[in-house]
Amino acid sequence: MFLLWHTDVFTQLLLIVDVYSALLKVIDNLAALIDGVSNLPPTLKARILHLMQKRGLVSDENISKVCTVV
């Protein structure tokens, strides 16, 4: 029983790492992908904005494409 639970947790952690690394690739190639970011779900936009802030990539030009007013 523990082995099955452990495997599920490990699989979930691998998925989280994959999603995080994909977000980092989006951030690294943001100039080419900025128009596609505006179509992402709000939760992913929030993570992208957070990573952009950490890397100092937020500007007046790209903030409007990542942030949307509801």
Mean pLDDT, residues 45-65 taken together: 82
pLDDT (0 to 100) of residue 1: 41
pLDDT (0 to 100) of residue 5: 52
For the chain, give the mean pLDDT.
75
Say yes or no to pLDDT of 66 above 80: no
Close Cβ partners of 4 (under 8 Å, ≥ 6 residues apart): none
- Provide Rg for the chain, Cα atoms: 15
pLDDT (0 to 100) of residue 7: 64
pLDDT (0 to 100) of residue 2: 45
User: Above pLDDT 90, what percent of the chain?
Assistant: 0
Q: How many Cβ atoms from other residues are within 10 Å of residue 62's Cβ?
A: 16
